[in-house]
């Protein structure tokens, strides 16, 4: 085994940031990249707030709604470790996209606004994390603004998310009185200096003279010491419980004031697990693939089309699970498609670089012309299959109607391509020539309409069809499934993989059909192979 194959995976940390819009995810991302030296100037990643709304890169919809639609990956280095930060869309309508991204992350940072605590979208995204019990580090942001009492915030996290919470730091007040945070393990105090004072944030002994001068307010210092003492009563940090997704360590800071950001990266360096063995199936056997196994294996968790409209490229984001990837290597999907990977890219802040080699925990972008799909397992042998990435039953179904009916073929291609990318789902009814699209949230439909217009030049209307919901059908008894499908052609459709889907008017109809056909399973999720 090459030495690099043994040592490189240990230096990778893959994580994602989740937050309710406006809690500060973009600011934190940017300042992490600044703190680690990956970028040198603010504003390179993505503009914040209003600026982002007007400058947004490729989609009008992002400007109109002020939301970040597409996820991407950014790489930075710190203390000899390579961090791959996977960005997730903040809006709940894209929770499917977030779920897919989280399948490739080994940890999530949950950003909370100190004044707002757990917001609706935090809860939704957390539920997505819980589906995989992914470890979560909590960062309470905006301490430079008046906030909720940290004891109350911690209780809120405990109650609403049913997590054990361990503060790793404790803040001294917030807003105008904010003085800094103490590291509850080392007892060192990180002083918050106002930027205008020109001083860097610095650590000082909690019992020393400097802290007294820094506080300049005995009552506040006493209050802080008392609180920090109480904060030590929380349970000790337990690595196993954290890794199993039951316990979250909490850090405090202000992303905007660059306070606590470097400390958060240090914490991630310590806490985010390096790539772990991943369960897979090979030759019909359940196996564990170790990051240091020789064969290159991994899976596609995201496909993004037209990142650069001039090139009309399509990039598959491939999370490596094992092996030593070299540029030019041939990789095969589990179902026999093969691809020579000549131009794999890695993403450093906004730059792309050719990846000459990559290891477990790396995310490489593989440009392709529609060969790769979300959920594909890719390996040298083509015999390895990781758990697929699920599609969720759509909550919104729409019939696509072209403004120019002569362009039906083009529309089908566009819809198929967007379905392969995972933007929306596509169902082809057994009868008629309709194309039904499905989405979990209505913004997905808006994004699709906009992209069909800008990328394919097609005007399309979306109408409400006579069905509201869809279920994937499976059965251990193929004859019974076929009988059901033949008997219910009016309600049957195929998804993009050709699998049978039952379209129903209501959940009641599904319940009824299920009751009458106990040998058939009506599934709300389907794993993409
Ligand atoms: P998001 O990606 O989670 O949606 O949040 P984003 O970083 O865009 O931040 C949302 C707003 O919160 C921005 O203000 C940003 O400057 C502000 N913010 C982020 N972190 C902090 C912090 O630690 N302290 C304070 N006080 N504010 C913070 P905006 O007014 O929408 O944008 P801008 O005009 O400041 O750029």
ipTM of the shown complex: 0.97
- How many angstroms separate the CA atoms of 170 and 183, rounded? 7
**Cross-sheet strand order for the sheet of 202-205:** 169-172, 180-183, 188-191, 202-205
Q: What pLDDT is recorded for position 389?
A: 74
Alpha-carbon distance values, 237 to 191, 232, 243 (Å): 24, 11, 11
- How many angstroms separate the CA atoms of 495 and 372, rounded? 17
Alpha-carbon distance values, 357 to 10, 15, 99, 103, 325 (Å): 16, 21, 27, 22, 5
Which of 3.30.360.10, 3.30.413.10, 3.40.50.720, 3.40.50.300 is the CATH number of 278-386?
Answer: 3.40.50.300
Task: Tell me what the pLDDT averaged over the chain comes to.
Answer: 87
- Tell whether 24 is in a known binding site: yes
More confidently predicted of 197 and 329 = 329
- Tell whether 141 is in a known binding site: yes
The string of pLDDT tens digits covering residues 259-307 is: 999 999 999 999 999 999 999 999 889 999 999 999 999 999 988 876 5
Report whether 447 contacts 423 (CB < 8 A). Answer: yes
Q: What pLDDT is recorded for position 516?
A: 95
Q: 3-271 and 390-527 share one CATH topology?
A: no
For the record, the structure tokens of 176 come out as 């105008």
The CATH homologous superfamily for domain 390-527 is Peptide chain release factor 3, domain III (3.30.70.3280)
The string of pLDDT tens digits covering residues 180-190 is: 999 999 999 99
More confidently predicted of 168 and 469 = 168
State how beta strands 460-463 and 396-402 pair: antiparallel
The string of DSSP letters for 245-302 reads: TSEEEEEE-BTTTTBSHHHHHHHHHHHSPPP--EEEEETTEEEEE-TT-SS-EEEEEE
The string of pLDDT tens digits covering residues 99-157 is: 888 889 999 999 999 999 999 888 888 887 887 889 999 999 999 999 999 999 999 99
Determine what percent of the chain is predicted with pLDDT higher than 70.
88
Counting every residue, how long is the chain?
Answer: 529
Minimal-distance CA residue to ligand 1 atom 30 = 49
Ligand 1 center–CA 28 separation, angstroms: 9
Alpha-carbon distance values, 356 to 290, 342, 345, 436 (Å): 22, 9, 9, 42
Residue of 248, 264, 263, 46 whose CA lies nearest to 165: 248
For the record, the structure tokens of 39 come out as 């970028």
Ligand 1 center–CA 115 separation, angstroms: 13
Report whether 161 contacts 246 (CB < 8 A). Answer: no
Q: Which of 124-128, 355-359, 438-442 has the highest mean pLDDT?
A: 355-359
Over residues 174-203, mean pLDDT: 85
**Cross-sheet strand order for the sheet of 492-494:** 460-463, 396-402, 436-439, 425-429, 492-494, 500-504, 469-475, 520-523
- Tell whether 90 is in a known binding site: yes
- Domain range list for the chain: 3-271, 278-386, 390-527
- How many angstroms separate the CA atoms of 236 and 432, rounded? 62
Q: Which residues line ligand 1 (CB under 6 A)?
A: 19, 21-27, 48-51, 90, 141-142, 144-145, 254-257
The yes-or-no verdict on residue 454 having pLDDT over 80 is: yes
Rg of the Cα atoms in the chain? 25
The string of pLDDT tens digits covering residues 11-63 is: 999 999 999 889 998 889 888 988 888 766 555 454 444 433 333 333 444 44
Of the residues 22, 120, 263, which should be mutated to test ligand 1's pocket, given the most ligand atoms within 8 Å of the CB? 22
Over residues 87-109, mean pLDDT: 82
Which of 3.40.50.2300, 3.20.20.210, 3.40.50.300, 2.40.50.140 is the CATH number of 3-271?
Answer: 3.40.50.300
pTM: 0.83
Could you count the other beta carbons within 10 Å of the beta carbon of residue 165? 18
């Amino acid at each position: 085994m090459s030495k690099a194959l043994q040592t490189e995976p240990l230096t990778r940390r893959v994580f994602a940031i989740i937050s309710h819009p406006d809690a500060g995810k973009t600011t934190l991302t940017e300042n992490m990249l600044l703190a680690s030296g990956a970028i040198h100037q603010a504003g390179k990643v993505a503009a914040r707030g209003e600026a982002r709304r007007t400058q947004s890169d490729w989609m009008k919809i992002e400007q109109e709604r002020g939301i970040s639609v597409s996820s991407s990956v950014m790489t930075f280095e710190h203390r000899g470790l390579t961090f791959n930060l996977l960005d997730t869309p903040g809006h709940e309508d894209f929770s499917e996209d977030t779920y897919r991204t989280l399948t490739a992350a080994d940890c999530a940072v949950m950003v909370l606004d100190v004044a707002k605590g757990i917001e609706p979208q935090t809860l939704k995204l957390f539920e997505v994390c819980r589906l995989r019990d992914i470890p979560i580090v909590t960062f309470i942001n905006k301490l430079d603004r008046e906030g909720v009492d940290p004891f109350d915030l911690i209780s809120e996290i405990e109650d609403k998310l049913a997590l054990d919470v361990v503060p790793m730091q404790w803040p001294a007040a917030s807003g105008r009185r904010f003085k800094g945070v103490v590291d509850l393990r080392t007892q060192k105090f990180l002083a918050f200096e106002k930027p205008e004072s020109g001083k860097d944030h610095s650590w000082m002994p909690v019992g020393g003279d400097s802290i007294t001068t820094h506080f300049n307010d005995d009552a506040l210092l006493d209050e802080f010491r008392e609180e920090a003492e109480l904060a030590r009563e929380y349970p000790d940090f337990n690595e196993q419980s954290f890794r199993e997704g039951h316990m979250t360590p909490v850090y405090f800071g202000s992303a905007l004031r660059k306070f606590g950001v470097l400390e958060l990266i240090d914490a991630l360096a310590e806490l985010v697990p390096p790539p772990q063995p991943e369960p897979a199936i090979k030759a019909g056997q359940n196996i564990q693939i170790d990051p240091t196994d020789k064969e290159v294996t991994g899976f596609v968790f995201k496909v993004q089309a037209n990142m650069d409209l001039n090139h009309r490229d399509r990039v598959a984001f491939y999370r490596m699970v094992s092996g030593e990837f070299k540029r030019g290597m041939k990789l095969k999907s589990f179902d026999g498609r093969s691809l020579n990977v000549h131009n794999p890219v890695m993403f450093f802040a906004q730059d792309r670089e050719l990846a000459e080699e990559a290891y477990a925990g790396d995310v490489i972008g593989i440009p392709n012309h529609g060969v790769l799909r979300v959920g594909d397992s890719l390996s040298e042998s083509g015999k390895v299959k990781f758990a697929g990435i699920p599609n969720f039953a759509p909550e919104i179904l729409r019939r696509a109607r072209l403004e120019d009916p002569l362009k039906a073929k083009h529309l089908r291609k566009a819809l198929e391509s967007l379905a392969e990318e995972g933007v929306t789902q596509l169902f082809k009814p057994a009868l008629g020539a309709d194309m039904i699209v499905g989405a979990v949230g209505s913004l997905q439909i808006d994004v699709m309409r906009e992209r069909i217009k800008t990328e394919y030049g097609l005007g399309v209307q979306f109408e409400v069809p006579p069905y509201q919901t869809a279920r994937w059908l499976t059965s251990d008894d193929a004859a019974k499934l076929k009988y059901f499908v033949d008997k219910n052609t009016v309600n049957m459709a195929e998804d993009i993989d050709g699998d049978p889907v039952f379209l129903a008017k209501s959940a009641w109809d599904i319940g009824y059909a299920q009751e009458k056909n106990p040998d058939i399973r009506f599934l709300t999720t389907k794993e993409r192979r």
